[in-house]
Chains A and B, each alone.
Chain A
Amino acid sequence: MSELTTAARPYARAVFEMAKETDTLTTWSESLSFMGAIAANADVVALLEMPKMAKQTGADAFIKLCDGKLDDKAINLVKTLADNNRIKLFPEISTLFEVLKDEAEGRIEAIVKTANKLTKAEEKSIATALKKRLGREVKLKVSIDKALLGGAIIKAGDLVIDGSIQGRLKKLTTAMAG
């Protein structure tokens, strides 16, 4: 997984810089996630991996699959990736592009899991506190998990803030066991 990220990074960065210059971040974002979804499909992967499949034939097949939804630049990207046998990297490129885009726009998505439903006021206070802590605009994605028993777990990127009762019980167990 980390090897794919290393391989995908130069492509994602190139696309990002180009999108930033031409101010087409949103279009590219949609394009990439679309292509990522297609490239992740098992049948497509099988097709591209076929030994006798020449690079450009594969690229053409992929472009046809996208059914006219790609602009010229996107088609060029597909052809470049095909040259280096990297079409299957599209999902990773899309993810990395989103990360770069969020960083540029100063936004981050936070997943909040609670045992009970949050009120609007509670959601707002969490969002403000997170914004202060992370220094970026926070977009909350709320979900319910009864197993937490109470409190909340907030995940933003790699950072995890565990204020749940389940988490505290786990800590108590470890502390008691010595």
Chain B
Amino acid sequence: MQLNPTEISDLIKKRIDSFETDAEARTEGTIVSIMDGIVRIHGLSDVMSGEMIEFSNGAYGLALNLERDSVGAVVLGDYKGITEGDVAKCTGRILDVPIGPELLGRVVDSLGAPIDGKGPVECQKMGAIERGAPGVIDRKSVDEPMETGIKALDSMVPVGRGQRELIIGDRQTGKTAVAIDAIINQKGKDVKCIYVAIGQKASSVAAVVRKLEEHGAMDYTIVVAANASDPASMQYLAPYAGCAMGEYFRDRGEDALIIYDDLTKQAWAYRQVSLLLRRPPGREAYPGDVFFLHSRLLERSARVNADYVERMTNGEVKGKTGSLTAYPIIETQEGDVSAFVATNVISITDGQIFLDTDLFNSGNRPAIDAGLSVSRVGGSAQTTMIKKLGGGIRLDLAQYRELAAFSQFASDLDEGTRKQLERGERVTALMNQPQYSPLSTAELGITLFAANEGFLDDIAVDKISDFESALLAHLRSDQTEFLDKINASGDYNDDIADEMRGILESFKSSSTW
């Protein structure tokens, strides 16, 4: 007979010891109707808005509609055992989830219950799902980089710690791939990651978890999953649960990264719940507060100053700032960024990474549209070296795009135009990157230096990626000292430039290339 992890005698003894035997006073009500996951309860005179309600089959509900004669609650979980006439009790708890470092490495659902079969999550603290964002005075401006390891992003669309950067694109354009690469690149950088999967296939989430485990990223990652078969209420709450878990780290002066994949499905789930609660529908049948749904979630991703951290930890942690960086993902239909939810989230976030289907299909992956993608924090979130070296890339690509129509007449053009076209082609080829192979800041710096200084100009366009892999292999085996030096400081001066030039020249002339 198989014992599950909860049946260890020590655990049981601890549970019995900590059990409280006081009488409890609570308000009760009777279920009047249950339909489509929405329960109407008569009674419950002391219920609070957003309070957890307990049903007789052990499932929980969330009181969302407080009306004069009844309470409209949405069931969080299985509503099979609930019948009309059952008793519903108030718990006195506004919806909260377990938070803390014990969650790292685990896969949990929207209520914090584990779904990875590795035993219970022994968290000491609970955090409210709905919390106010830090105020204006509590914040600090974003000036530390959050590297994704993706060349195109770190050079042209840099993201800082505490920023919200939207990843937007059609289906199958590599949105999740960008997010996963960002998580994998945080290895060894003391950043805790949270991946919130909303409305996805369970198989997709399993594949993501497997990939993260392969690259050793699960040790510092929490996965919150509300799959497509979970009730709409769980899908609606999953991002808030993930955010509460991320705020734990932010409020302790640590850095965290949270990815919401994706918010479109959360908006759909919220629309379903609102329509069933008979709230009036607005544009595209979304309820009137769909903007507030996302704005209050994303405002909680911020960089907070040391005073706030000290206050939140009661003086335990001094002199450290905390941050929660967010990568919300929105899926568009046919590239329509002017759809309702898409425009809402674009206006909330501090920039977007736009992934284009045409670029993806023509082999440019990651398919980042450098023209439409922007980061409103920009240069303040880059190291000096990348800022200097990456500044030219964007311009090169913009000029190349302008002239791209003439590339058919390449032989008939003047020298300057032809050079620009060739440089643009090579930079575009350089920006391609395979999945799960992040670049450190130093490696990115050398690659950009090579592009800027013309080391790529005499290499055929289709050989650029081979050149780059060979260069990276050489750097990682023979030049580790130099890489470590640059990674540590991030400075850039003439000496470093000369060193880079020397390395590149010797590499190019050597027989490995």
State the Cβ distance, B88 to closest chain A Cβ, in Å. 11
Within 8 Å by CB of A160, from B19, B26, B32, lies: B26
B12 within 8 A of A: yes
A68 within 8 A of B: no
State the Cβ distance, B102 to closest chain A Cβ, in Å. 14
Give the nearest-CB partner of B54 in chain A. A174
B43 touches A158 (CB 8 A): yes
Please give the number of chain A residues whose Cβ is less than 8 angstroms from any Cβ of chain B in the complex.
Answer: 23
Give the nearest-CB partner of B18 in chain A. A175
**Given A2-B40, A6-B68, A176-B15: A161 and B28 interface contact (C-beta under 8 Å):** no
Considering the complex, which residues of chain A in the window 142-168 have a beta carbon less than 8 Å from any beta carbon of chain B? 151, 155, 157-163, 167-168
| Bound-state Cα–Cα, A1 to B29, Å | 12
Name 13 extra pairs, CB < 8 A, besides A159-B46, A162-B26. Answer: A1-B32, A1-B42, A2-B40, A2-B70, A5-B42, A5-B69, A151-B23, A158-B27, A158-B29, A158-B44, A159-B27, A172-B16, A174-B58
Chain A residues with CB below 8 A from B42, complex form: 1-2, 5
State the Cβ distance, A128 to closest chain B Cβ, in Å. 17
State the Cβ distance, A133 to closest chain B Cβ, in Å. 8
Chain A residues with CB below 8 A from B314, complex form: none
B23 touches A163 (CB 8 A): yes
Considering the complex, which residues of chain B in the window 1-57 have a beta carbon less than 8 Å from any beta carbon of chain A? 6, 12, 15-16, 19, 21, 23-30, 32, 40, 42-46
B365 within 8 A of A: no
Give the nearest-CB partner of B71 in chain A. A2
B25 touches A161 (CB 8 A): yes
Give the nearest-CB partner of A157 in chain B. B45
A172 touches B6 (CB 8 A): no
**Given A2-B40, A158-B45, A158-B46: A178 and B26 interface contact (C-beta under 8 Å):** no
Specify which of B28, B29, B67, B120 lies most central, judged by the most chain A CB atoms within 10 Å of its CB.
B28
| Bound-state Cα–Cα, A34 to B511, Å | 106
Number of contact residues on B: which range applies?
20 to 34
B69 touches A2 (CB 8 A): yes
| Bound-state Cα–Cα, A178 to B119, Å | 10
B89 within 8 A of A: yes
By a beta-carbon cutoff of 8 Å, the part of chain A in contact with chain B is 1-3, 5-6, 151, 155, 157-163, 167-168, 171-172, 174-178
- What are 28 A-B residue pairs whose CB atoms fall within 8 Å in the complex? A2-B40, A2-B42, A2-B69, A6-B68, A6-B69, A157-B45, A158-B27, A158-B29, A158-B44, A158-B45, A159-B25, A159-B27, A159-B46, A160-B25, A160-B27, A160-B28, A162-B23, A162-B24, A162-B25, A162-B26, A168-B21, A171-B19, A174-B58, A175-B19, A176-B15, A176-B16, A177-B6, A178-B120
Chain B residues with CB below 8 A from A167, complex form: 23-24
Within 8 Å by CB of B23, from A6, A157, A161, lies: A161
State the Cβ distance, A111 to closest chain B Cβ, in Å. 12
Give the nearest-CB partner of B29 in chain A. A158
State the Cβ distance, B262 to closest chain A Cβ, in Å. 31
Contact with A along B66-82 (1 / 0, CB 8 A): 01111000000000000
Considering the complex, which residues of chain B in the window 57-112 have a beta carbon less than 8 Å from any beta carbon of chain A? 58, 67-70, 89
Chain A residues with CB below 8 A from B45, complex form: 157-158
| Bound-state Cα–Cα, A176 to B4, Å | 13
Give the nearest-CB partner of A153 in chain B. B23
B25 touches A175 (CB 8 A): no
Considering the complex, which residues of chain B in the window 171-203 have a beta carbon less than 8 Å from any beta carbon of chain A? none
| Bound-state Cα–Cα, A167 to B68, Å | 30
Chain A residues with CB below 8 A from B24, complex form: 161-162, 167, 171
State the Cβ distance, B481 to closest chain A Cβ, in Å. 51
| Bound-state Cα–Cα, A100 to B128, Å | 38
State the Cβ distance, A129 to closest chain B Cβ, in Å. 12
B89 touches A160 (CB 8 A): yes
**Given A160-B25, A162-B24: A2 and B32 interface contact (C-beta under 8 Å):** yes
Chain B residues with CB below 8 A from A157, complex form: 45
Considering the complex, which residues of chain B in the window 252-279 have a beta carbon less than 8 Å from any beta carbon of chain A? none
Give the nearest-CB partner of B12 in chain A. A176
State the Cβ distance, A145 to closest chain B Cβ, in Å. 15
State the Cβ distance, A91 to closest chain B Cβ, in Å. 15
State the Cβ distance, B310 to closest chain A Cβ, in Å. 35
State the Cβ distance, A33 to closest chain B Cβ, in Å. 21
Give the nearest-CB partner of A177 in chain B. B6
Chain B residues with CB below 8 A from A151, complex form: 23
